[in-house]
Amino acid sequence: MLRTARSEVCGTDVHLWHGRLSGVPYPIIPGHVSAGTLESIRGPLAALDGSRLREGDRAVFFDVHRTCGRCRACTVHHTPTRCAARRVYGITDSASEGLFGGWSQYIYLEPGVGIARLPDAVHFDDYIGGGCGLLTAVHIIERAGFQAGESVLVQGVGAVGLSAIALAKLSGAAEIFAIGDPEPRLALARDMGAALTFSLSASSAAERLAAVRDRTYGEGVDVVIEAAGSPRAIEEGVQLVRDGGRYVVAGHYTDAGPSSLNAHHDINRKHLEIRGCWGSQVHHFAEAIRILEQHAATLPWRAIGQRTYPLTALNEALADAEAMRITKALVDPWRGEG
Amino acid sequence: MLRTARSEVCGTDVHLWHGRLSGVPYPIIPGHVSAGTLESIRGPLAALDGSRLREGDRAVFFDVHRTCGRCRACTVHHTPTRCAARRVYGITDSASEGLFGGWSQYIYLEPGVGIARLPDAVHFDDYIGGGCGLLTAVHIIERAGFQAGESVLVQGVGAVGLSAIALAKLSGAAEIFAIGDPEPRLALARDMGAALTFSLSASSAAERLAAVRDRTYGEGVDVVIEAAGSPRAIEEGVQLVRDGGRYVVAGHYTDAGPSSLNAHHDINRKHLEIRGCWGSQVHHFAEAIRILEQHAATLPWRAIGQRTYPLTALNEALADAEAMRITKALVDPWRGEG
Amino acid sequence: MLRTARSEVCGTDVHLWHGRLSGVPYPIIPGHVSAGTLESIRGPLAALDGSRLREGDRAVFFDVHRTCGRCRACTVHHTPTRCAARRVYGITDSASEGLFGGWSQYIYLEPGVGIARLPDAVHFDDYIGGGCGLLTAVHIIERAGFQAGESVLVQGVGAVGLSAIALAKLSGAAEIFAIGDPEPRLALARDMGAALTFSLSASSAAERLAAVRDRTYGEGVDVVIEAAGSPRAIEEGVQLVRDGGRYVVAGHYTDAGPSSLNAHHDINRKHLEIRGCWGSQVHHFAEAIRILEQHAATLPWRAIGQRTYPLTALNEALADAEAMRITKALVDPWRGEG
Amino acid sequence: MLRTARSEVCGTDVHLWHGRLSGVPYPIIPGHVSAGTLESIRGPLAALDGSRLREGDRAVFFDVHRTCGRCRACTVHHTPTRCAARRVYGITDSASEGLFGGWSQYIYLEPGVGIARLPDAVHFDDYIGGGCGLLTAVHIIERAGFQAGESVLVQGVGAVGLSAIALAKLSGAAEIFAIGDPEPRLALARDMGAALTFSLSASSAAERLAAVRDRTYGEGVDVVIEAAGSPRAIEEGVQLVRDGGRYVVAGHYTDAGPSSLNAHHDINRKHLEIRGCWGSQVHHFAEAIRILEQHAATLPWRAIGQRTYPLTALNEALADAEAMRITKALVDPWRGEG
């Protein structure tokens, strides 16, 4: 049993709030990425690194608590994020089944959940500032096959995009561009490592293309990462990547409508590679912890989580997140308690 | 100097005929893939395998006769098919520069052209039956990262699609599906190795999807290869591939208009990989020769080239090719000569 | 509960017989790869392809029945064959724990074991003829990154080597060489697809090197597969592969002593890649079934299993296997029963 | 014609001095990596990035000035470093052919040589401090398939090893270990990014293994890089890498004798990957320039070049390099001139 210290409000939660995801067994306890202190442990419990966990340890856990391990997605295709039996804290489990969500003072960690001790150097707010966006970004960078010295452009400066910028920076990117809004997020993108940022609303696609080509030998960037969720972003992204480059599409978590692509110009002749990226796996979680341990002191993940709300103010948190008034809302389920 | 025995009329030539490719320095001598006999050699001449070529040898050559070897596409990105200085027999050279095309009794092989001796087991008609479609198919299979035991579906049963089917078969494909028209090409697709073929006009997309899923654990195929050149094929292809599979887009050699894709359903959530495939490189040419040497006796490449035309009937050949009355027209520049 | 129809005696069993593997909890029931008929099923039971299994179905199962799914080998490194908690039928489980081995009339299939229905086209003797050697060979070919058109040389013509030859053939190998003894196994190697075989005892390493180079442009082969288990094979293997090629080391299942390699000539200057290959995973098992379904009619896996022994003659079977009097001994636990 | 500002004395030059490389057409002008100012240009000259070079530009060039581009190593295997016709400034060309070496006041840059303008931020001493070791290190990191978050151990702290440490750091390595001597080089290794260094002479292999395992979950590191050239390093390296890890062998530029490996323990059961790495290609050169442009200000490549010698003191430079009294000797062919 984990005593929750922090949970988060992410884009998924806004979608859940509006009922946009199919198959969710409402009512649920939202909050899929959370951190806290191990309150009581039944039997010996091992962390992912093999060490013994003890009551009182600061701990975090991987939110995907079950994949079947037997279906063709799990065993043959090595795409466990596409397992039909996949279950995720805060999303797929009904509140009637137990404490399977982070917007709660306690969370039940069932057997088999991947747990990690939070390193001393990492504050709860660092971890939740990164949150699920950081895990997704670890997957994106892996999926991009990113190598030091490559140039990268990130579409979208929400939690996923900001972490992708940070990871590209850590991985030795030659130059990082970012597109998004509003300005405070673009400022955070620059703090994360972006050399050049574009306001989506205050610049035209033609201006962005010209500026990017001007700094990339006239070619476009090696890797474009889509973390925007907009059909128009897809149409622009294939223009910004160089011939023979890679385009990772990670931001379309829900259906935002169709994009129009010209297969001749945008894919075939460009010799382009487009890679969809869905969810994350437990090794991305382990990797995220290691990255935070090394870099939380110098990269501002904590700044992504701009404001912390008590359980009584969650509708306000959701509304603030939706209106993009804040980059990310954190949840402290003990705040306001006597 | 090569005495031309056979050249071909491929889809590119139909596009060239109508002036659909930009930057072509008309008048040109068309015919980019050809075969013949070495008539006269100036100085020692080595084949790609290092052996010495002699006058009288039956020889074939790689049609891309120059890439710069110094630009970023050639050196940094390893995408020589995107080199701006790339020159191709039968396409990029004006007739005023010399004999740089196969619809001619002789072809000038300039220094540096990759030449191979045609193995005894391979007839001129086998080589030209495969032609540029076979080279493109070698590139497609490499780009697909195809492994034995995978299922594959090929969209389009022209010269490229038919060779892709044959190569998938040789590479140990578990099951091969093909979509196209007309029926004689579908019959040839089955001879090449397709287990199940669909007439594009006589079946619906829903029927094809149901039939493919029914034979692939309900998943769709591991690899879809687009060799059709139609925007609608792109839209259907992303449905036919399984989650986490690969989709190679190779058939959009010219601009046939936009396709509509839903990034959420078709790319992101599917965890799909879309790989554009442009042109071919000299190692694909060397590989194609080796494949013909081993398999021309058992796979009907020769049957792709259905009819051989003299130089005086080339407009008829182009018209037949465009109307899909034949799979591929061959050219014999000596036919009809006294 | 599986009523055992066939099990096998593989090289591992000979090692187990002599106590050469560490950590084995004797007494055990040997026999890690087996096939039979589902006798009784408790609750609904699904095959790996998702279909429902029923009593009376002919079935086979993946012998690794547990990996932890939580350690760093399982989750971070994606090397489940190196999981410390890995348990394998016929090897790691004491007889006192239950029916966990194939040399027995019944085998207990515990929950979570990967089970597949044996296709109608595949006889029990085809499956056991391939046996664990086929699964290992599927892993080897995957690890080799084998592509159609490549040349390959296999060192060793036991059960692993013979299946590797068959899979290279199915995958479109340009030319396959094999080295081993005795002659009946070399004959079987040729039936599996080897174009040229060498008797290890009747030819010298220099002769083999010269013959291989003579047929590979003077280079050596693209891929060498070691399935011999001899330190001398390692020393010869690095000579037979071309510069920039790949050498898969799969045959050293036990410690046969050191090999001497010259890092300058054999690895560094050769720009060589050496890839160790240990054990197999459940997707290799699923793949093996699919391969047998397609190819058991034309490739002689059944001929690998040369003789079938009753439970009362197992010491004889082990002695015959060790003396290489037969390629593989099969076990029929019901033979000789009234 | 390049007016040489700086050249270097690398390990290769010490080998050349002693006549240890075969096929060298003595007398030669040594010095394969050099930097200078373009003195006179015949006709238009383009840099690798496509821009026009002008007299007076500070320039550097890729030392491999010819590969044939037609042999199987160049075209089929994509291993141009193994092209038999490869020619390298300072190594393969006789002095009688012209100014093909850097220990000279002028160097002739023949047509086709890959030339880059040295960015303003990069001093000649930065470039030559990195020198050929930096290019080799770029190749090593590429060959390692290195990803951010991985742990790495570098054997050897000469010019190659130090640059490999720097590049691992830039690429987001989780933790970097180094083994070597003497102490000033280990100090430089720490400045480059190594978290823990071991003196080869003052620690035992058992101590190093224990210390590395203690900091890597008991596993060993993800990637070991051999840049030591010692047969004993090979034997230790396979112990230090984790199961399923990668071992890049790059330091055996000459024959230093055999290493003893146990294929069972060191390769097969470890599921290890050993990758030989020979020479470098032009894209490694382009990448090295880009890295220096970004990072020369913060990483001490300049400190690798400890002392600069005039042409009249080259024997002293070679003796100092051989005795490891300095990390690298630089050459200024104009020093001491009136």
- Digit-coded pLDDT (tens) for D138-189: 999 999 999 888 999 999 999 999 999 999 999 999 999 999 999 999 999 9
- Percentage of chain C beyond pLDDT 70 is 99
Neighbours of D148 (CB within 10 A): 26
Per-residue model confidence (pLDDT) at position A225: 98
| HSE toward the beta carbon, residue D281, CA cutoff 13 A | 22
**Cross-sheet strand order for the sheet of B151-155:** A196-199, A175-180, A151-155, A221-226, A241-249, A273-276, B273-276, B241-249, B221-226, B151-155, B175-180, B196-199
Per-residue model confidence (pLDDT) at position C337: 65
DSSP β-bridge partners for residue C106 = C3
Most confident of A95-109, B52-66, C238-252: C238-252
Q: Is B207's pLDDT higher than 80? A: yes
Residue D23 tokens, joined: 């096929």
pLDDT bracket for residue C16 (50, 70, 90) = confident
What is the rounded CA–CA span in Å between residue D181 and residue D203?
11
pTM of this prediction exceeds 0.95 = no
Cβ contacts from C onto D, under 8 A = 133
What is the rounded CA–CA span in Å between residue B205 and residue B227?
17
Of B50, B142, B149, the CB nearest to C287: B149
Q: Is A301's pLDDT higher than 80? A: yes
**pLDDT tens for residues D238-249?**
999 999 999 999
DSSP one-letter string for D86-110: -EETTTTSBGGG---SSSSSEE---
pLDDT bracket for residue D99 (50, 70, 90) = confident
What is the rounded CA–CA span in Å between residue A193 and residue A163?
10
Interface list for chain A against chain C, based on CB atoms closer than 8 Å = 46, 48-50, 69-72, 75-76, 78, 112, 114, 281-283, 286-287
Per-residue model confidence (pLDDT) at position C95: 87
Chain centre distance of CA A44: 31
DSSP one-letter string for C32-50: SSEEEEE----S--B-TTS
Q: Kindly give the interhelix angle for C124-144 and C282-295, rounded to the nearest 10 degrees.
A: 120
Average pLDDT score over residue span D281-289: 93
Q: Which residues contact D260 (CB under 8 A, 6 or more apart)?
A: C258, C259, C260, C261, D235
DSSP C231: H
Q: Which residues contact D43 (CB under 8 A, 6 or more apart)?
A: none
**Closest CA relative to residue A214, chosen from A234, A236, A240:** A240
Of C50, C167, C217, the CB nearest to B49: C217
What Cα–Cα distance (Å) separates residue D222 from each residue in B174, C105, D146, D174?
Answer: 35, 45, 9, 10
**pLDDT tens for residues C118-140?**
999 999 999 999 999 999 999 99
Contact B218 C167 (CB under 8 A): no
Of C254, C262, C271, the CB nearest to D82: C271
Please say whether the beta carbons of A189 and A158 come within 8 A: no
Per-residue model confidence (pLDDT) at position C161: 97
pLDDT bracket for residue D123 (50, 70, 90) = very high
pLDDT bracket for residue B110 (50, 70, 90) = confident
Q: Which residues contact C241 (CB under 8 A, 6 or more apart)?
A: C153, C220, C221, C222, C223, C224, C247, C270, C272
Chain centre distance of CA B37: 23
CB-based burial of residue C240 (10 Å sphere; 0-12 exposed, 13-18 middle, 19+ buried)? buried
Neighbours of D234 (CB within 10 A): 28
Interface list for chain D against chain C, based on CB atoms closer than 8 Å = 72-73, 77-79, 81-82, 217, 219, 226, 231, 234, 242-244, 249-265, 267-278
Mean of all residue pLDDT scores within chain D: 92
Residue D66 tokens, joined: 């010819």
- Percentage of chain A beyond pLDDT 70 is 99
Neighbours of C47 (CB within 10 A): 18
Q: Which residues contact C138 (CB under 8 A, 6 or more apart)?
A: B149, C163, C167, C280, C284, C287, C288, C291
Q: Is D338's pLDDT higher than 60? A: no
Q: Is C338's pLDDT higher than 80? A: no
Contact C226 D264 (CB under 8 A): no
What is the rounded CA–CA span in Å between residue A148 and residue A168?
8
Per-residue model confidence (pLDDT) at position D78: 83
Give C-chain residues touching A50 at CB under 8 angstroms.
Answer: 71-72
**Maximum alpha-carbon separation in chain B:** 65
The ipTM of this complex is 0.93
The dihedrals phi and psi of C227, each to the nearest 5 degrees, come to -135, 40
Q: Is B78's pLDDT higher than 90? A: no
Interface list for chain C against chain B, based on CB atoms closer than 8 Å = 49-50, 138, 141-142, 146-149, 167, 170-172, 174, 217-218, 287, 290-291, 294
**Closest CA relative to residue B13, chosen from B254, B182, B238:** B254
In this structure, of B175-184, D12-21, D143-152, D156-165, the range with the lowest mean pLDDT score is D12-21
Please say whether the beta carbons of B30 and B13 come within 8 A: yes
In this structure, of A236-240, C185-189, D319-323, the range with the lowest mean pLDDT score is D319-323
Please say whether the beta carbons of D275 and D250 come within 8 A: no
Chain centre distance of CA B151: 21
Contact B50 D69 (CB under 8 A): no
Residue C64 tokens, joined: 């690794």
Per-residue model confidence (pLDDT) at position D236: 98
Average pLDDT score over residue span A32-59: 91
Q: Is B338's pLDDT higher than 80? A: no
pLDDT bracket for residue B84 (50, 70, 90) = confident
pLDDT bracket for residue A338 (50, 70, 90) = low
In this structure, of A326-335, B163-172, B213-222, B261-270, the range with the lowest mean pLDDT score is A326-335
Mean of all residue pLDDT scores within chain B: 92
Of A255, A263, A264, the CB nearest to B264: A255
Q: Is D337's pLDDT higher than 70? A: no
Give A-chain residues touching C142 at CB under 8 angstroms.
Answer: none
Closest residue in B to A139 (Cα–Cα): B271
Give D-chain residues touching B114 at CB under 8 angstroms.
Answer: 70, 75
DSSP one-letter string for D211-245: HHHHTTTTS-EEEEEE-S--HHHHHHHHHHEEEEE
Per-residue model confidence (pLDDT) at position C236: 98
Per-residue model confidence (pLDDT) at position B236: 98
Per-residue model confidence (pLDDT) at position B17: 87
Select the more confidently predicted residue: B187 or B32.
Answer: B187
Per-residue model confidence (pLDDT) at position A337: 65
Per-residue model confidence (pLDDT) at position C215: 95
Average pLDDT score over residue span A99-125: 90
Q: Kindly give the interhelix angle for B124-144 and B159-170, rounded to the nearest 10 degrees.
A: 70
SS3 of residue B52 by DSSP = strand
What is the rounded CA–CA span in Å between residue C102 and residue C104?
5
The dihedrals phi and psi of C251, each to the nearest 5 degrees, come to -95, -10
Select the more confidently predicted residue: C260 or C19.
Answer: C260
**pLDDT tens for residues C71-129?**
888 888 888 888 888 888 988 888 888 888 888 999 999 888 899 999 999 999 999 99
Per-residue model confidence (pLDDT) at position C324: 85
